[in-house]
Amino acid sequence: MNIYGYARVSTKEQNIARQLKDFEEMGIDKRFIIVDEQSGKDFNRKGYNSLVGTEYNAPLLHEGDLMVIHSIDRMGRDYTEIQEQWKYITHTLKANIKVLDMPLLDTSVSKDNLDNRFIADLTLQILSYVAEKERQNIRTRQKEGIAAMPVINGKKVSSKTGRASGRPSAEFPKEWNAYYTEWKQGKITAKKCMDDMQLKRTTFYKLVKIHEEKSK
């Protein structure tokens, strides 16, 4: 049986020392410690994929092996995907997972104990439910907050900051009319307009649409 430590931080600036110290204290060989410096928004990560495998590479994890992580959020942020990955590792690859800061999430102690394995799976489902419920509550509070904002000049405005909600409207540069006229006359290209006025392509054509609708 091989024991792998999987550590993850979202950026290089974040400190990974605590996670590595946990693995060192467990006696995990440095050769079997996999590190990702990448967001947990999905599971498309080089280190993680080396453990579970891809359509092009065989997994490092084999039946009976153990993957150790400091906390469940080191696997990822989406609990629905975490459940899928958990099931894939423990049922398909038949490897085990041990979450150090949550002893209930440890399938290695439940290999021959159906009750313990059930508790680990149930705990993960509860965590997934709580996380999803909190996401829904946050979205609801955001919608309620926006709905309660006063409307000034046709826009919802925050009572705290005095700023309008949503993305700021695109503004016409001072030299817009001159550049627009020359562009429509074929004297200059759209790219020159964008470069000279420092506009992104999407912003330029958005302003063109607004300008032409106003001119009708």
On whether both 56 and 107 belong to a single domain, the answer is yes
Residue 67: CATH number of its domain? 3.40.50.1390
The pLDDT assigned to 164 comes to 58
For residue 9, being part of any structural domain is answered with yes
Q: Which domain holds residue 21?
A: 3-135
Is the pLDDT at 95 greater than 90? The verdict is yes
Tens-place pLDDT, residues 96-139: 999 998 888 888 875 556 666 777 778 877 877 776 777 677 77
Query: 130 and 186: one domain?
Result: no
Q: Are residues 36 and 119 in the same domain?
A: yes
Q: Are residues 92 and 189 in the same domain?
A: no
Q: From residue 60, how far is each of 2, 93, 120 by CA, in Å?
A: 9, 10, 23
Rounded to the nearest integer, the mean pLDDT of the chain is 84
User: How confident is the model over 15-47, as pLDDT tens digits?
Assistant: 899 999 999 999 999 999 999 998 888 888 999
Q: What are the two backbone dihedrals, phi and then psi, of residue 123, each rounded to the nearest 5 degrees?
A: -60, -45
Residues 101, 196 within the same domain = no
Last residue of a domain, one of 74, 108, 135: 135
Report d(CA 51, CA 183) in Å as an integer: 55
